[in-house]
Structure 1
Amino acid sequence: MIFELRTYTAEPGRAADFLKLYESMALPLQNKYLGGLVGFYVSEIGPLNQIVHLWRFDSLADREQRRSAMEADPAWQEYRARSKELGALRQQESQILKPTSFSPR
């Protein structure tokens, strides 16, 4: 099992705009194709304007297959275009995390 930790940094004052679009367009598609949403968060203390989400996959191959299927969906392409037009994100980061032998997940 692996986890993907994604951190998006929004333009100041634009996180709510991004989250509204994400919840209405992207989340239903990601739930359909990716499944495995562990959590979705916003920063409260520390670096501000950050949106953090954590996804669980069986393996890197599983992640690749699921993301490829999602990318092929025209509705996902429409979301990506709308997100780009919105211009609410300043930066995106992705980390792949592998649990240790004693991790509960």
Structure 2
Amino acid sequence: MIYELRVYHCLPGRLPALLKRFETITLGIWERHGIRQAGFWTTLVGPSNQTLTYLLAWESLAERETKWNAFATDPEWLAKRAETEADGQIVSSLSNEFLVPTKFSSVQ
């Protein structure tokens, strides 16, 4: 199992819109595509409280490529993303990393 760590940095005041989009739209589309989330976090203490961090669980990079590409080009996702950004951009930047658990990790 590998994990993808994704960090979204929102424009000021736009984190609630991103959280709502994940809760009401994105997660349902991910489920249809077989994308498994391993957790979501907002920042309590850190450089910015306008950040969403989450983990996705993948069997392999090949699985990630297939499923993420299908999601990224899904017509419903593209339409809903455009709707949620009708009043302005939400995310200013994002980063991602692929992590492999150590043999002593409680998460495998």
Task: State the AA in 2 paired with 1:94.
Answer: N
How many corresponding residue pairs? 105
The answer on whether the counterparts of 1:42 and 1:52 sit within 8 Å (CA) in structure 2 is: yes
Q: Determine the structure 2 residue equivalent to 1:14.
A: 14
The answer on whether the counterparts of 1:8 and 1:89 sit within 8 Å (CA) in structure 2 is: yes
Which blocks of at least 5 consecutive residues in structure 2 are unaligned? none
The answer on whether the counterparts of 1:8 and 1:52 sit within 8 Å (CA) in structure 2 is: yes
Q: CA RMSD in A?
A: 1.6
Structure-to-structure mapping, 1:51-90, within 5 angstroms: 51-85=52-86, 86-90=88-92
Structure-to-structure mapping, 1:24-103, within 5 angstroms: 24-48=24-48, 49-85=50-86, 86-103=88-105
Task: State the AA in 2 paired with 1:14.
Answer: R
Identical amino acids, percent of aligned pairs: 32
How far residue 80 of structure 1 moved from its aligned partner, in angstroms, is 3.2
How far residue 94 of structure 1 moved from its aligned partner, in angstroms, is 0.9
- TM-score, normalised relative to structure 2: 0.85
- TM-score, normalised relative to structure 1: 0.87
User: What is the rounded CA distance, in whole Å, between the counterparts of 2:57 and 2:43 in structure 1?
Assistant: 21
Residue 45 of structure 1: SS of its match in structure 2?
A: coil
Residue 7 of structure 1: SS of its match in structure 2?
A: strand
- Structure 1 pair 21–2 and aligned structure 2 pair: CA distance change class (3 A): same
User: What is the rounded CA distance, in whole Å, between the counterparts of 2:80 and 2:26 in structure 1?
Assistant: 6
Which blocks of at least 5 consecutive residues in structure 1 are unaligned? none
